[in-house]
Structure 1
């Protein structure tokens, strides 16, 4: 299966690209930072040098500055992240 087909890939894959380019403050990069250990364990190359500290707080603040529904959107993003990680882990085991 192609990684682009996994649920949440629309956030995670651009986030990996952002981190490789030194951008740590995008939604995708912050999601990757939240699950960096899990993603690395499942086989993805996560650039650790550019990870944001406290990515959960940073992501929420970023969303809150831009959206009225920050709490709901934050939770939806975390669910997409979890779905991506779960699917990736299933692929890694096969």
Structure 2
């Protein structure tokens, strides 16, 4: 399965790279932290040692600092994360 073709990969894959490089506070890394159990169960190798605690709160706070539409963007990011997880789980089930 080519992970780059999955919906939401533009956030998840850079976040995974960030975690491998010790960067736990990027948008992508925080998204991975939110769904780390689900992603791991679907077969993705997530480096647990760099996961942020309370990633939902940190992501929202970061977005509030950066954007006027934090609420809508936060929900859009979570939707992308869910789409990525669904596609990954579906791809592993077939």
The TM-score by the shorter chain falls in which range? over 0.9
CA distance in 1, matches of 2:16, 2:2: 16
Q: Note the aligned Cα RMSD (angstroms).
A: 0.5
The residue aligned with 1:74 is: 74
Deviations 1:52-80 (A, max 9, x none): 00000000000000100000000000000
TM-score, scaled relative to structure 2:
0.99
Match runs of 1:19-38 below 5 Å: 19-38=19-38
Q: 1: distance between equivalents of 2:44 and 2:69?
A: 31
- Structure 1 alignment gaps of length 5 or more: none
Secondary structure at the counterpart of residue 33 of structure 2? helix
* Deviation, structure 1 residue 90: 0.4
In structure 1, distance between residues paired with 2:26 and 2:77: 13
Number of residues of Structure 1 aligned to a counterpart in Structure 2: 94
Q: Deviations over 1:16-65 (max 9, x none)?
A: 00000000000000000000000000000000000000000000000000
Gaps of 5+ in 2: none
Runs of 4+ in structure 1 displaced over 3 angstroms? none
